[in-house]
């Protein structure tokens, strides 16, 4: 027999523990990324060119530098300046900053796509800028941002595998450990692949549901 | 109530409004008419500072809205606006549209705001639509909700920016009827419109704009029967 998945059985608890790490890292990074993306998108929509340039520059950095290089800089480089983080924190910070760059870009597009009349109506009613953004513009912008947000979520989940290079035991790293333990590579790696695949499918399924939900007011 | 003094507005090199002076007293209904591109809407939008005038002053209740020190949010609570494209908030129900600003801007109690919304919706004949989303309403219904939403803020003035221009012909009347019913309540109104019959019937004064200038300012009987300027005569020939 060339393949022997039976030998994976005893490693399953180990793999599920690593799954938690992957999920925690993805969720924490996404949440942080979204929180950062909101002010960043407003910076990119500022009336002042200099302020907008800051936002554009931020995104260009994270777009232009490979993610693995970013992770290495944060994990290996920053301790030189007294900023020491463990692998999880370093991953979380890097992924969040990176996601913020991308999410803020689609959020900016989403905000711009909201009809200018909405802002005007809010202004004419005396509603403040903050409340207009929070209650009038964002809820509408999120509709067009939702698909790219789901994509970002999926991309982020897959990118977390890079964290295995700095020693955090995520699903990929766990699979590699099993490889070196059993000298069989295909079974552990394929199991890891299935783990990722199932998670990605689950996210896109939930994303579709969520999209329907945010669009409920459009139903006639 | 509203006092416009030497108002000018340019978009880049394009002069949209040229030295306009105009008074609107309490309870007065003024119809602003003129050919497209004459600056009617821009004039209206300057009054609540949706457009920033290039020069001149606009006083609402004696307060200069152009002055950077003025709290424009306070002015806008007194000056309601009804838009050509309604601009209802599509992610909110009719009720939420009506109560959002009273609750969040005027700090009205939600219960009180809802009671008031129902009362206003009854007035525009749409009380049964309170739980609907705007997407389910016809154009005429949307505009009636938009008018009710403006009224929910208890404005002293309402600016109507071509309120019937985006409507199918058979829906124009229901909206005009609502606007007309407001005319009896003593609220001050400035109305940009292409409905000449309506302007003649409801307005106390007609302001005729052409190429950014206020060409005529006269009672409707005078304006429609004996316009002074050649430009107004030509315009009336075309539209009447």
Predicted local confidence at residue B9, as pLDDT: 95
**Candidate from B87, B105, B133 with C-beta closest to A126:** B105
Evaluated on CA atoms B90, B96, B97, B100, the torsion sign reads negative
Sheet holding B2-11, edge to edge: B14-24, B2-11, B55-60, B63-64
Q: Where do the domains of chain A lie, and which CATH numbers do they carry?
A: 16-216 (1.10.3720.10)
- How close, in Å, is residue A217 to chain B by CA atoms? 5
Interchain contact B88–A (C-beta under 8 A): yes
* Cross-chain residue pair A123–B85, CB shorter than 8 Å: no
CB A91 within 8 A of CB A164: no
Structural Rg of chain A based on CA atoms? 21
Round to whole Å and give the CA distance between B166 and A135. 26
Name the residue facing B83 among A117, A126, A127 (closest C-beta): A117
CA distances from A100 to A25, A55, A115, A133, A197 (A): 15, 11, 24, 18, 24
Tens-digit pLDDT profile for residues B27-64? 999 999 999 889 999 999 999 999 999 999 999 999 99
A139: which chain B residues are within 8 Å (Cβ-Cβ)?
Answer: 91
Question: Cβ neighbours of residue B100 under 8 Å, at least 6 residues apart?
Answer: A125, A127, A135, B89, B92
Q: Would you state the pLDDT for residue A1?
A: 57
Residues in CB range of A53: below 8 A, 6 or more apart: none
B149 shares contact with chain A (CB less than 8 Å): yes
The residue of chain B nearest to residue A137, with distances taken between CA atoms, is: B89
Position A220 confidence tier, pLDDT thresholds 50, 70, 90: low
User: Any idea which residue has 């599920």 for tokens?
Assistant: A16
What three-state secondary structure class fits A191? helix
Q: In what order do the strands lie in the sheet with B205-210?
A: B79-82, B157-161, B188-192, B29-33, B205-210, B213-218
* pLDDT tens digits along B120-178: 999 999 999 999 999 999 999 999 999 999 999 999 999 999 999 999 988 999 999 99
Give the confidence band of B77 by pLDDT, cuts at 50, 70, 90.
very high
Q: Are A150 and A207 in contact (CB under 8 A)?
A: yes
Cβ-based neighbours of A211, under 8 Å, separated by 6 or more: A146, A147, A150
**pLDDT category of residue B1 using cuts at 50, 70 and 90:** confident
Q: Which two tokens stand for residue B169?
A: 């012909």
Q: Are B226 and B66 in contact (CB under 8 A)?
A: no
Q: Classify strands B29-33 and B205-210 as parallel, antiparallel or unpaired.
A: parallel
Q: Alpha-carbon torsion B194, B198, B203, B205, what sign?
A: positive
Contact status, residue B44 vs residue B192, Cβ threshold 8 Å: yes
Instruction: Tell me which chain B residues have a C-beta less than 8 angstroms from the C-beta of A220.
Output: 135-136
Note which residues in 13-42 of chain B have CB less than 8 A from chain A. Answer: none
Of A124, A135, A217, Cβ closest to residue B76:
A124
């Amino acid at each position: 027999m060339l393949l022997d998945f039976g030998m994976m059985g005893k490693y399953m608890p180990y793999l599920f523990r690593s799954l938690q790490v992957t999920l925690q890292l993805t969720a924490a990074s996404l949440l942080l990324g979204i929180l950062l993306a909101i002010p960043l998108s407003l910076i990119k929509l500022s009336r002042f060119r200099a302020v907008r340039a800051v936002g554009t520059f931020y995104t260009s950095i994270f777009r232009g530098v490979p993610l693995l290089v970013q992770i290495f800089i944060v994990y290996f480089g920053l301790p030189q300046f007294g900023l020491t983080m463990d692998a999880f924190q370093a991953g979380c910070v890097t992924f969040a900053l990176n996601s913020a760059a991308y999410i803020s870009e689609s959020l900016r597009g989403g905000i711009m796509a909201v009809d200018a009349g909405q802002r005007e109506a809010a202004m004419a009613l005396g509603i403040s800028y903050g409340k207009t953004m929070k209650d009038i513009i964002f809820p509408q912008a999120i509709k067009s941002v939702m698909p790219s947000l789901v994509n970002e979520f999926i991309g982020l989940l897959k990118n977390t595998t890079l964290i295995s290079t700095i020693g955090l035991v995520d699903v990929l790293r766990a699979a590699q450990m099993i490889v070196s333990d059993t000298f069989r590579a295909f079974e552990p790696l394929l199991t890891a692949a299935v783990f990722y695949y199932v998670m990605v499918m689950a996210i896109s399924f939930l994303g579709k549901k969520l999209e329907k939900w945010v669009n409920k007011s459009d139903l006639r | 109530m509203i006092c416009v003094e030497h108002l000018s507005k340019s978009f880049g090199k394009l002069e949209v409004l040229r030295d306009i002076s105009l008074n609107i007293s309490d309870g007065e209904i003024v119809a602003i008419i003129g050919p497209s591109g004459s600056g009617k809407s821009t004039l209206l939008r300057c009054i609540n500072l949706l457009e920033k005038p290039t020069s001149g002053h606009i006083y609402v209740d004696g307060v200069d809205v152009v002055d950077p020190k003025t709290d424009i949010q306070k002015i806008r609570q007194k000056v309601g606006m009804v838009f050509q494209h309604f601009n209802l908030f599509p992610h909110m129900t009719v009720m939420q549209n009506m109560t959002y600003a009273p609750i969040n801007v005027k700090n009205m109690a939600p219960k009180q705001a809802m009671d008031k919304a129902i009362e206003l919706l009854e007035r525009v004949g749409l009380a049964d639509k309170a739980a609907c989303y705007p997407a389910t309403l016809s154009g005429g219904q949307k505009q009636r909700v938009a008018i009710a939403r403006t009224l929910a803020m208890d404005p002293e003035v309402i600016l109507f920016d071509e309120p019937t221009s985006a409507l199918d012909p058979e829906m124009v009347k229901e909206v005009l009827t609502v606007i007309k019913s407001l005319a009896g309540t003593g609220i001050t109104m400035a109305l940009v419109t292409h409905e000449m019959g309506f302007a003649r019937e409801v307005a106390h004064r007609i302001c005729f704009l052409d190429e950014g200038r206020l060409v005529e300012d006269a009672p409707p009987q005078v304006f429609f029967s004996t316009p002074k300027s050649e430009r107004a005569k030509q315009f009336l020939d075309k539209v009447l």
